[in-house]
Amino acid sequence: MGPERVKQTIKEALAKGTDRGIHIIDSESHLLDPLSSASSIAAALRNESFDLILTGLQSDDHGFGQTGVLLAELLGLPHATIIMQIDVDGGRMKLKRELEAGWFQWVELPLPAVLTIQSGINKPCYATLKGIMAAKKKEIAAIPRESLGITTAPTQLVQRIYVPQKSKKTEFLMGTPKEVAVMLVEKLKHEARVL
């Protein structure tokens, strides 16, 4: 989705092996909030046949990281975020997700699904001359975003962006050593989230 210049990116994908492309034409797509973007893409894909939708994690939705998740919900598909590795076995996928503090999680999903991909998951491949020539014969469906009937009225409003103030907080735990140990473990699990 985007202005006429995004057709070049679609052509590059076709040259690398994609079967066909869909260009949702909108010269002002950068002004859409994540829900409007996801709604537009969902409307364009609703009657398509696909096994897997891959989206970026957050760059094109102003860093909110919501477009892929909302797209999955609007299409009624399972989804997973921050994907680092994909292993497909029949109609299921085993996925490696990146969590905070260097932790990873393995999850399984059925196909079709929507995945938001972490940057750096793959090594870029280059189009071959044969692929470039074949891309010229492949279809790029052009759909004006206005024809999809999706409103551009924002569903969210950013009022202020700021760096949060750091503050230190000291809390004394009172009780017997056993009671203090129980309270400390609870705080480490639920407040600090280090256990």
Q: Tell me, yes or no, whether 166 lies in a domain.
A: no
Q: Tell me, yes or no, whether 112 lies in a domain.
A: yes
Q: Give me the percent of the chain exceeding a pLDDT of 90.
A: 59
- State residue 61's pLDDT score: 64
Q: Tell me how many domains the chain contains.
A: 1
Going by pLDDT thresholds of 50, 70 and 90, the confidence category of residue 159 is: confident
Mean pLDDT of the chain: 89
- State residue 73's pLDDT score: 96
The residue range of the domain holding 97 is 4-148
* CA–CA distance, 146 with 26 (Å, rounded to integer): 8
- The pLDDT of residue 60 is above 70: no
Q: Tell me, yes or no, whether 154 lies in a domain.
A: no
Angle of helix 67-75 versus helix 34-45 axis, rounded to 10: 40
Q: What residues have CB less than 8 Å from 102, skipping those under 6 apart?
A: none
123-129: list long-range contacts, CB under 8 Å, 24+ apart.
125/16, 126/16, 127/12, 127/15, 127/16, 128/15
Q: What is the pLDDT of residues 66-92, one digit of tens each?
A: 899 999 999 999 999 999 999 999 899
User: Which sign does the torsion angle of CA 83, 88, 93, 96 carry?
Assistant: negative
Q: Tell me, yes or no, whether 62 lies in a domain.
A: yes
- The pLDDT of residue 129 is above 90: yes
pTM above 0.85, yes or no: no
Q: Tell me, yes or no, whether 122 lies in a domain.
A: yes
Residues in the chain: 195
- State residue 87's pLDDT score: 94
Q: Tell me, yes or no, whether 19 lies in a domain.
A: yes
- State residue 101's pLDDT score: 86
CATH number of the domain where residue 69 is located: 3.40.50.620
Mean pLDDT computed over 146-175: 84
Query: In terms of pLDDT, which residue wins out, 124 or 40?
Result: 40
Q: What are the backbone angles phi and psi of residue 181, rounded to the nearest 5°?
A: -65, -40
Q: Tell me, yes or no, whether 68 lies in a domain.
A: yes
Q: Tell me, yes or no, whether 182 lies in a domain.
A: no
